[in-house]
Amino acid sequence: MALVTSNEMILNAQKGGYAIPAFNVENMEMAMAVIQAAEEMRSPVILQTTPSTVKYAGTAMYAAMVYTLARTAAIPIAIHLDHGESFALAAQAIRDGYTSIMIDGSHQSFEDNITLTCKVVEMAHACGIPVEAELGKVGGKEDDLDGGESDNNTNPAQAAEFVERTGADFLAVAIGTAHGVYTKTPKIDIDLLRKIRATVDIPLVLHGTTGVDSQIVRQCIEAGMCKVNYATELRIAYSDGIKEALIENPEVFDPKTYGRAGMAKVKEVATKNILLCMSNGKAQAQV
């Protein structure tokens, strides 16, 4: 089927009490592995790229790649700009075929975040594209994104005002998670999540999931998270697969050989997290 926007699948997840897994992909192999897992599990899925990733190959390249894979897939697939940092990048992604956009103004002041988000929402909605925004700072470091310490959690009252004033479709919130690899056990504030959920009615998004205990992730979904992002875990899996293949056969020179090994690891991770998000089987009613 053709690429779809993330709007319907995430709203369905909100109604159904599960979450849509959103996987950051760096290349063709990772994208293929994620879609293979999602098809076997009958799960809607979002493939994402960060600004650093699109600097590597461009939004047109990633959009065309995912579009080509989606044409023969029998599940809903969206391609999403993760942590877009500017209006210009959001506009470029939409022009090149992205079906979902995140604008991350969380490193700016509250008012400047609202101003930037409103501008992107107006542009994206005119094109029929939903927008994810962020309020509070998800800490840690991923690519060129440096959120610092995860000590600036989302204020529920500000969240209500932010959503009302911006018209964002989904909201990424900071509740103690961090991007990248954790150096200590994260303290996830489920009570804060519940308070945010009580003040806003749009779907909420969980970033910084790699390394968070699966029971905590499930509790976050049960408390209102409707989209769960995975990035570092997939990168580690893909790299581990390639390393293992090269150690086993150091003479190999065909990239397809170790590429398949990386894909196998990514598929395992994607399958595990689809089950954790409880999105398996949820594509049936949408095909």
Give 1-67 as a 3 state SS string.
CCCCCHHHHHHHHHHHCCCEEEEECCCHHHHHHHHHHHHHHCCCEEEEECHHHHHHHCHHHHHHHHH
Q: Please identify which residue in the block is written with the tokens 């969980």.
A: 206
Beta-sheet strand order (sheet of 145-148): 145-148, 139-142, 178-179
- 8 Å CB contact between 166 and 206: no
> How many angstroms separate the CA atoms of 182 and 144, rounded?
17
Cβ neighbours of residue 250 closer than 8 Å, sequence gap 6 or more: none
Instruction: Give kind and range of the element (H or E) at residue 172.
Output: strand 170-173
Residue length, the chain?
Answer: 287
Comparing CA positions, the residue from 51, 157, 65 lying closest to residue 110 is 157
Answer yes or no: 146 catalytic. Answer: no
Catalytic residue among 82, 96, 104, 143: 82
Residues marked as catalytic? 82
